[in-house]
A and B are shown apart, each in its own frame.
Chain A
Amino acid sequence: MTRDRIPLVLLAIFLVVALAGLWTPPWALFILTIAFAKGLVALGLMLFLRAGLVSFGQALYYCAGAYAAGALGRYLGVSDIFLMMAAGAAVAGLLGFILGFLLAKYRGIFFGLLSLALSMILYGLLVKNEALGSTDGFNIRPSTLFGVRPDLEWLRYLVALSAAAVALGAAALVHRYLGTPLGRLAPAIKDNEIRVEYMGASARHAIHVKYVIAAVLAGIGGALAATTVGHIDPDMAYWTTSGEFIFMAILAGTGSVVAPFAGALIFAVIHTTAYDLSPNTWQMFLGTSLLLLIVFLPEGLWSLFRRRRAG
């Protein structure tokens, strides 16, 4: 057993972002920040994937986090990026805790379908809510950090830096969680849930915990995306948004907590370039890669690294 290098890797990524970010153009920093935001959601989905569950409704928490952050700015005039992320985490976490009691009982397609229904409920509510801008959503003012509103040229850099700090910090915590007995139950639940119960562990409890963690992560991601983009709308809760997160999580695989962020970054880069090159075939590209991944690399891109190391 080699030493656990993940914390070092995460620290290294942060330093790279902090240093290279100084010379990176704002648009690239924007893509990077969004990748961190969506990577957080994909990280939560990775926890589910490890237990053999696929959620078709993680956009529920992404959207809830975004609207929590948006409401903070709209009604209380708060625009601090950390407060927004905290609000997103709190609202999504609470929602996840409550709904978790229900969803922790579900497996297979029923887990996916129920989470889909729940996210569509939020979508249905937001679309018809005039006070929150209906289908148009509403705008969010540029972020401040610790009460200071940085110059525009620095804003993107500082937001990216904060995103990196929070996302990588969260990844480090999730990594520690994966090492705990509760975290290690996931593959066992996937393989044979009944044996897990015979061992004296509660699969339901383990999944509930995962569910809340994933909800908190998605809430932070949603808040981060909201303040970065400066606009939120109900489409954040639509099922196609959940589909994108699934794509990232499957692209990345379950090998490491770094993987979802890599998946999200690849997704963001493909998204940007494909939209430029040929906007009408970009979903086709996504679908084809998803298909090839499921068939040939079911463990995700990350497994390429591992196989080489083993060989």
Chain B
Amino acid sequence: MDQILAVIADGIIYSAWLFIAAVGLTLIYGVMKIINVTHGSFYALGAYAGASLTGAWIARGLPVEWSYAVLAAGALAVTLVVAPLIERGILRFMYARDEVVILLITYALFLILEDTIKLIWGVNPYFAAEPYALLGSFEVGGLPYPTYNLILVALAVISGGGLAWMLQSTRVGKLLVSVIHDPEVSRAMGINVDRYYMVTFAFGSLLAALGGSFTAPTVSVVPGLGVEIIVLSFAVVVIGGLGSLPGAALGALIVGVVRSVCVHYAPELELFVIYFVMAMVLAFRPRGLFSLAEPRKI
């Protein structure tokens, strides 16, 4: 029984983390039809910015309680600098290209950003465990869990719920939905589609950076962080359906729980099973579990 509780707790925590890391990807795909490989770069940028800023904050002797705000500020700062640069500087000239070509372009940008990170922060690991250690731990089924994990769960619920609320209940969200369905007609109706693209890209990237910066206290921040998260978040959004918000939540939940079960009962299958689920979903429902059929365009 205890082990089942632990499986559930691990699954929820891992799902929350996956959702934060992947939801920006699905948002950007949904609006702009871009498979954004730089998503991993923003995750890594957020992690580095969060870790180094928090490190500096604590080294000055400033209150540790505020370090959570510092983490968020770090993510916000890097995104505000890098995202508009990429979207306005390069991507907006490419929207007419094929999806695959844009994918390759973001891959090229990812390679560039990967080394930019190394140039700025070097190759030595960064640690900022204070926000993680501060909150202590709670127990599930006799196993201690860091309370910090609850922040991740809260962040996942807030970002997912906030996005859903924004899309359904605000003017901006409704306009965005119309941009998603038909950018051309939206433009004709007087919506500034370019601005929506830029804001979406920045916002999606911000979510990735937040995912990175709030993960930073739990890991050592090293080069190659972004490389891993890309395939994982691809798996999550593909399982749920590219561009679908509930899909991303479902994908994160499936991957999180499946992985948690594997870690407890069959650890040698841990990595395999994630991509196995992804391949199965692609094989039987290529557009993901939460997707509508799309008419074939000639």
CA distance A294 to B105 in the complex (A): 7
| Chain A: minimal CB distance from B146 (Å) | 26
Interface mask (B131-160 → A, CB under 8 Å = 1, otherwise 0): 000000000000000000000000000000
Contact A123 B35 (CB under 8 A): no
Would you list which residues of chain A between 117 and 154 have a CB under 8 Å from chain B? 117-118, 120-121, 123-125, 127-129
Contact B99 A108 (CB under 8 A): yes
Would you list which residues of chain B between 96 and 131 have a CB under 8 Å from chain A? 98-101, 103-105, 107-116, 118-119, 123
Contact of A250 among B104, B269, B273, B276 (CB under 8 A): B104
Interface mask (B261-287 → A, CB under 8 Å = 1, otherwise 0): 000000111111111101100110011
Contact B282 A117 (CB under 8 A): yes
Say whether A270 faces chain B, with CB atoms less than 8 Å apart.
no
Contact of B123 among A120, A129, A280, A287 (CB under 8 A): A280
Q: How many residues of A contact B (CB 8 A)?
A: 40
Say whether B227 faces chain A, with CB atoms less than 8 Å apart.
yes
The count of A-to-B residue pairs whose CB atoms sit within 8 angstroms is 124
List of B residues within 8 angstroms of A286 by Cβ: 108, 111
| Chain B: minimal CB distance from A86 (Å) | 28
Contact B227 A109 (CB under 8 A): no
CA distance A108 to B98 in the complex (A): 9
List of A residues within 8 angstroms of B279 by Cβ: 114, 117-118, 121
Chain-B contact segment, one of A158-166, A178-186, A238-246, A255-263 = A238-246
CA distance A109 to B279 in the complex (A): 14
Chain-A contact segment, one of B45-53, B57-65, B187-195, B231-239 = B231-239
CA distance A240 to B230 in the complex (A): 11
CA distance A118 to B280 in the complex (A): 10
Given contacts A117-B275, A129-B268, A291-B112, contact A112 B103 (CB under 8 A): yes
Say whether A284 faces chain B, with CB atoms less than 8 Å apart.
yes
CA distance A112 to B234 in the complex (A): 11
Given contacts A121-B272, A124-B271, A128-B270, contact A112 B100 (CB under 8 A): yes
List of B residues within 8 angstroms of A114 by Cβ: 279, 282-283, 286
Say whether B298 faces chain A, with CB atoms less than 8 Å apart.
yes
Given contacts A102-B283, A128-B268, A128-B271, contact A194 B298 (CB under 8 A): yes
Contact of A294 among B104, B235, B275, B276 (CB under 8 A): B104
When C-beta atoms are compared, the residue in chain A nearest to B123 turns out to be A280
Query: Secondary structure of the B side of the interface?
Result: helix
Say whether B90 faces chain A, with CB atoms less than 8 Å apart.
yes
Query: Secondary structure of the A side of the interface?
Result: helix
| Chain B: minimal CB distance from A61 (Å) | 15
CA distance A287 to B90 in the complex (A): 13
Contact B275 A283 (CB under 8 A): no
Interface mask (A101-120 → B, CB under 8 Å = 1, otherwise 0): 01000101110111011101
List of B residues within 8 angstroms of A290 by Cβ: 104, 107-108, 111
List of B residues within 8 angstroms of A2 by Cβ: none
Contact B104 A106 (CB under 8 A): no
Contact of B231 among A120, A283, A294 (CB under 8 A): A120
CA distance A172 to B231 in the complex (A): 36
CA distance A89 to B105 in the complex (A): 32
Contact B275 A124 (CB under 8 A): yes
List of B residues within 8 angstroms of A250 by Cβ: 104
Contact B115 A125 (CB under 8 A): no
| Chain B: minimal CB distance from A228 (Å) | 25
A-B contact pairs, 5 of them (CB 8 A): A113-B278, A243-B111, A246-B107, A283-B115, A284-B115
Given contacts A106-B286, A125-B272, A129-B268, 14 further A-B contacts (CB under 8 A): A52-B100, A54-B100, A102-B283, A116-B231, A117-B278, A117-B282, A118-B279, A240-B227, A246-B104, A281-B115, A283-B112, A284-B112, A288-B112, A290-B111
**Residues of B participating in the A interface, judged by any CB pair closer than 8 Å:** 35, 90, 98-101, 103-105, 107-116, 118-119, 123, 227, 230-231, 234-235, 238, 267-276, 278-279, 282-283, 286-287, 298
